[in-house]
Amino acid sequence: MDLPFSGDLIAALVFPGVLGIFGFLVVAIWLERKLVARVQWRYGPLYVSKPLGGLLQPVADLLKLVFSELVLPRHTNRLFFAAAPILLFFAEGLPVVFIAAAPGVVMAPHPYGLAIAVVLVLLVAVLVVAMAWTEADKFTYVGAVREILLTAAYEVPLLLAALAMFILYGTADPYGVVEAQSNLWGAVLNPLAFVAYLVALLMATTRFPFEIPEAEPEVVLGPYTEYGSTLFIYAFGANYVKLYVLALLGSVLFLGGWLPAGGLAGVFITLVKMLVFVLPAMLVRAIYPRYRIDQALRIGWGKLLALSVAAVALSLVWRLLR
Amino acid sequence: MKTLVSQAVARLARWGTKWSLWPPHLVTACCGVEIGHIFGSVYDAERFGMLPMGSLRQSNIIIIEGTITLKMAKFVKYVYEQMPEPKYVIAMGACAIKGGVFYGSYHMVPASKVVPVHAYVSGCPPTPEAVLKAVSKVQEQIGHAEN
Amino acid sequence: MVAILIFVVVFLGALVALVVVTFLFAPRRPSEIKERRFESGGPPYGPVQRRLLMQYFGYIYLVTVVEAAVGLALVAVLTAQPSAPMLYLAIALLLAAVLIVVLRYFKVLNDIRRWS
């Protein structure tokens, strides 16, 4: 390749790497606030940069948080208190290493890459609980317990949806997965797995119908209550990073990744396809109330489990017919 | 060189703070009903970058909503003390300024005796436009502040 | 391999750098009250009145078992020779077993009153 940067460096630094993660944080928060405001007949953030429609609002929020006082409560272990959200944010971004955004634009091409990414996504819940534990507060404790229970609700359907797609394609290599979808997208071949994945994504990122760990009227901000300043950006932004990772994974698994293009155009097509997962996640915030924790568990182990098992069965049938 | 850098940083910090004033959920009296109105569809304080937060650890402006009784003054003071450093106060309503209908009562204090106030809003209750005007006054104050 | 290292270094570096910026440039006025526990705006006092019960933890037991089973299935699918009908039969049987267990105990799992 005669480019000044090779594909894996672009993947590491631009998309889906560092710049993509921080850029997504800004754009997603702006988009969410604007969309929700539009649904509620408001303008949303505007006057901070009127020609851009308030796009600089998240930047102003980030700057304000960075330049506000860093309070480390006395009753906590201060080192762990400061390190926990940094580690959480980092760990949420780590699965990106194994997901390809376009042919060649991947940090670590690996035959089982997507499976490793799914497992890495599921492992992160441990860090949220650890973070809540270091804060040592009753709200964070309740938030941590709710996070564990919600994890118990979505983990198996998410794994089963991924398993269904791996059975269907017979591989977990990002290139192989996308190649297998060159005729028909995975979402068309196995719509059950797609729906199960979408609902599990809403649960995993604690978006609105399942916004149980940080329910504001009940537990202030759940696991993020004690954090202010820069650490709040990391603690709270970690959810958006998870949404980014799961949307990227979903667009490769279900929507044919960068097809029908390759190279640089493929990157943009992947970005557009991610919107299929991101936009519903933003919009449900404006239209749904919140489930109780037992209702969420019942959905996870009832309808959603049935749906994802049916998805695996459908994949088995496709596989044996072929 | 060093002052140049610190000046640039201070400018940036002021700009960020100006456009992102987050009030915590602290309702002292009946003007709290008007606060809901300010964030509602018609007046929409989110245009100015305000976002109601649940916890005081992330927020940086208190809107004192009406009467402060001696009992509530303790908590207003405590919340103000616990908030992280650049922090601002808007006193809303006649009660917070001087006492309003409770003027001279044994059990109420004006807001300025509890916390330093950056902007007052008159009225009983003040209209949402008046509160938004006070918000933009505070924004101007922040923007033109010397460090 | 180099790309992963660069990603890790730049990403972690950026995160730590922002915290350092906060540490250097943010105004600081530490006080004893500010460093107290957050208790919704009131000073903390007294011992706990009631301990929180860990509800619904049957689901967590379930997840630890089922997740391991599904993980084994994932590994089996990814490492198997192409088109091995016995493997798919095994996965189908496993899923059927999981479904039967969940259906059998679904009522008990959902009702907090049967948990004590």
The pLDDT value recorded for residue B6 is: 84
Residuewise pLDDT in 10s, chain B (147 residues): 778 888 888 888 889 898 989 998 888 888 888 888 888 888 888 888 888 887 888 888 999 988 899 988 988 999 998 888 888 999 988 888 888 888 888 988 888 889 999 999 988 889 999 999 999 999 999 888 765
Tokens read off for A64: 């304000």
CB contact under 8 A, A72 and C35: yes
Q: Is B90 helix (H, G, I), strand (E, B) or coil?
A: strand
Q: Is B53 helix (H, G, I), strand (E, B) or coil?
A: strand
Nearest-by-Cβ selection for B81 from C26, C31, C38: C31
The pLDDT value recorded for residue A1 is: 43
DSSP class of residue B61? E
All residues of chain B having their beta carbon less than 8 Å from the beta carbon of residue A57 are: 19-20, 49
Residue C74's contacts (CB-CB under 8 Å, 6 or more residues apart) are A115, A159, A162, A163, A166
All residues of chain B having their beta carbon less than 8 Å from the beta carbon of residue A55 are: none
Query: What pTM did the predictor assign?
Result: 0.88
Going from the C-alpha of B120 to that of each of A11, B22, B90, B105, B108, the distances in angstroms are 52, 18, 6, 21, 17
Instruction: Find, among C99, C91, B32, B57, the residue nearest to A135 by Cα.
Output: B57
The pLDDT value recorded for residue B147 is: 55
Q: Phi, psi at residue A263, to the nearest 5°?
A: 65, -145
Q: Closest approach of chain A CAs to the CA of C51, in angstroms?
A: 10
Residue C14's contacts (CB-CB under 8 Å, 6 or more residues apart) are A18, A22
Q: Domains of chain A: which residue ranges? A: 7-321
Exposed e or buried b per residue across B40-57, where buried means at least 16 C-beta atoms within 10 angstroms of its C-beta: eeebbbbbbbbbbbbbbb
Distance of alpha carbon C34 from its chain centroid, rounded?
31
Residue C97's contacts (CB-CB under 8 Å, 6 or more residues apart) are none
| Per-residue pLDDT tens over the stretch C5-49 | 888 899 999 999 989 988 888 888 888 888 888 888 778 777 777
The pLDDT value recorded for residue B88 is: 92
Going from the C-alpha of C99 to that of each of A302, A308, C11, C103, the distances in angstroms are 9, 11, 42, 6
Residue that is written with structure tokens 């017919």 in the block: A321
Residue B9 burial (CB count, 10 A)? 16
All residues of chain B having their beta carbon less than 8 Å from the beta carbon of residue C26 are: 13, 85
All residues of chain B having their beta carbon less than 8 Å from the beta carbon of residue C20 are: none
Q: Could you check whether the bond before residue A260 is cis, i.e. omega within 30 degrees of 0?
A: yes
Q: Rounded CA gap, A191 and A202, in Å? A: 17
Which contacts qualify for C72-80: CB closer than 8 Å, 24 or more apart? C73/A163, C74/A115, C74/A159, C74/A162, C74/A163, C74/A166, C77/A163, C77/A166, C77/A167, C77/A170, C78/A111, C78/A112, C78/A115, C78/A166, C78/A171, C78/A172
Kindly tell me the burial class for residue B4, based on how many C-beta atoms sit within 10 Å of its own C-beta (0-12, 13-18, 19 or more).
Answer: exposed
CB contact under 8 A, C41 and B24: yes
Nearest-by-Cβ selection for C42 from B9, B75, B86: B75
Residue C104 burial (CB count, 10 A)? 10
Going from the C-alpha of B73 to that of each of A105, A154, B77, B79, C30, the distances in angstroms are 59, 45, 6, 10, 22
Element at B65 (helix H, strand E): strand B61-65
Instruction: Find, among A121, A102, A90, the residue nearest to C7 by Cα.
Output: A90
CA dihedral B67, B72, B78, B83 (to 10 degrees): -40
Is residue C112 over pLDDT 70?
A: no
Identify whether the C-beta of residue A252 lies closer than 8 Å to the C-beta of residue A99.
Answer: yes
Residuewise pLDDT in 10s, chain A (322 residues): 445 567 788 778 888 888 999 999 999 999 999 999 999 898 888 888 888 888 899 999 999 999 988 888 888 888 888 898 999 999 999 898 888 888 877 888 888 888 888 888 888 888 888 888 888 788 888 888 888 888 888 988 998 899 899 888 888 888 888 888 888 888 888 999 999 999 999 999 888 888 888 888 888 888 888 888 889 999 889 999 999 999 999 999 998 888 887 777 888 888 899 999 999 998 888 888 888 888 888 888 889 989 999 998 898 888 888 7
The pLDDT value recorded for residue A30 is: 92
Is residue C82 over pLDDT 70?
A: no
Q: Rounded CA gap, C109 and C116, in Å? A: 12
Nearest-by-Cβ selection for B49 from A60, A221, A226: A60
List the single residue in C with minimal CA-CA distance to A7: C3
All residues of chain B having their beta carbon less than 8 Å from the beta carbon of residue C31 are: 81
The pLDDT value recorded for residue A2 is: 43
Residue B104's contacts (CB-CB under 8 Å, 6 or more residues apart) are none
Q: Give the count of Cβ contacts less than 8 A between chain A and C.
A: 180
DSSP class of residue C20? H
Identify whether the C-beta of residue A301 lies closer than 8 Å to the C-beta of residue C59.
Answer: yes
